[in-house]
């Protein structure tokens, strides 16, 4: 997978990038078909086939055939990409809906003994909603860029919300870059 980043030359460096590209795999087929086309258009293969192929390349309608085939192939590829993107959006929506239903079930069964008591502003409900919000944030970070970094973990909120122990939090603090010390200090003050 290619991770796209903003560049100074409007992404022109991605044209020559080989990692994640199909260009190395497509290059032999491109060279083979280009060689055949060059031989046919130059007339070197006329004695082999017995008829003049240069008239085919001089005809004004010959390029239309290539353009139509290329257009259909491009549209088919674009439709496939579009369908995959909408499928991914649908899966993300289902993920959010499942977490919302789970949070609502936990909150609704929290006060079954006294339904008259209001849950608005309840610390447990607020904490639970915060945890489910962080769960969706971490999942989207994982989908977009792989495993979240220590900085992303720490900026999600207090360490007790997403780390299992204070030792893990201290270990993560040591791994964070020096320019994040102010952010860590502000997290410790909360």
Q: In this predicted model, what pLDDT tens digit does every residue of 71-109 receive, in sequence order?
A: 898 898 889 889 988 998 898 888 888 888 888 888 777
Cα 72 from chain centre: 26
Which pLDDT score is estimated for 184?
A: 46
Q: Is residue 53 part of a domain?
A: yes
Which pLDDT score is estimated for 165?
A: 43
Which pLDDT score is estimated for 125?
A: 79
Q: Is residue 6 part of a domain?
A: yes
The range of the structural domain enclosing residue 23 comes to 1-59
Which residue in the block uniquely carries the two structure tokens 């008239």? 55
Q: Is residue 37 part of a domain?
A: yes
Q: Is residue 42 part of a domain?
A: yes
- Within 8 A by CB and 6+ apart from 103, the residues are 128, 129, 132
Q: Is residue 164 part of a domain?
A: no
Which pLDDT score is estimated for 190?
A: 45
Q: ∠ CA(149), CA(155), CA(160), 5° rounding?
A: 95
Which pLDDT score is estimated for 174?
A: 56
Which pLDDT score is estimated for 19?
A: 73
Q: What is the mean pLDDT of each run of 10 residues along the chain (190 residues)?
A: 66 72 83 88 78 72 82 88 89 87 82 65 79 81 68 56 48 50 48
**Where does 38-166 show beta strands of DSSP type E?**
none
Number of H-type helices and E-type strands within the chain: 9, 0
Regarding pTM above 0.75, the answer is: no
φ, ψ of residue 146 to 5 degrees: the values are 85, -150
Query: What's the rounded Cα separation, in Å, for the pair 66 and 63?
Result: 5
Query: What's the rounded Cα separation, in Å, for the pair 69 and 73?
Result: 6
Q: How many domains does the chain have?
A: 1
Which pLDDT score is estimated for 24?
A: 81
Which pLDDT score is estimated for 32?
A: 95
Q: Is residue 36 part of a domain?
A: yes
């Amino acid at each position: 997978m290619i991770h796209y980043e903003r560049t100074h030359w409007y992404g022109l460096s991605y044209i020559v990038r080989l990692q994640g590209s199909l260009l190395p795999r497509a290059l032999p087929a491109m060279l083979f078909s280009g060689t055949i086309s060059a031989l046919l258009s130059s007339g070197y293969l006329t004695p082999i086939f017995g008829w003049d192929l240069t008239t085919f390349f001089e005809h004004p309608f010959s390029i239309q055939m290539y353009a139509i085939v290329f257009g259909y192939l491009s549209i088919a590829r674009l439709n496939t990409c579009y369908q995959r993107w909408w499928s991914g959006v649908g899966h993300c929506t289902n993920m959010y809906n499942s977490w919302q239903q789970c949070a609502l079930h936990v909150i609704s069964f929290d006060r079954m003994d006294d339904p008259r008591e209001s849950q608005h502003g309840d610390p447990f409900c607020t904490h639970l909603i915060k945890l489910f919000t962080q769960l969706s944030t971490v999942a989207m970070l994982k989908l977009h860029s792989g495993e979240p970094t220590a900085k992303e973990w720490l900026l999600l909120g207090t360490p007790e919300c997403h780390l299992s122990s204070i030792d893990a939090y201290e270990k993560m603090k040591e791994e964070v870059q020096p320019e994040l010390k102010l952010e860590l200090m502000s997290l410790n003050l909360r």
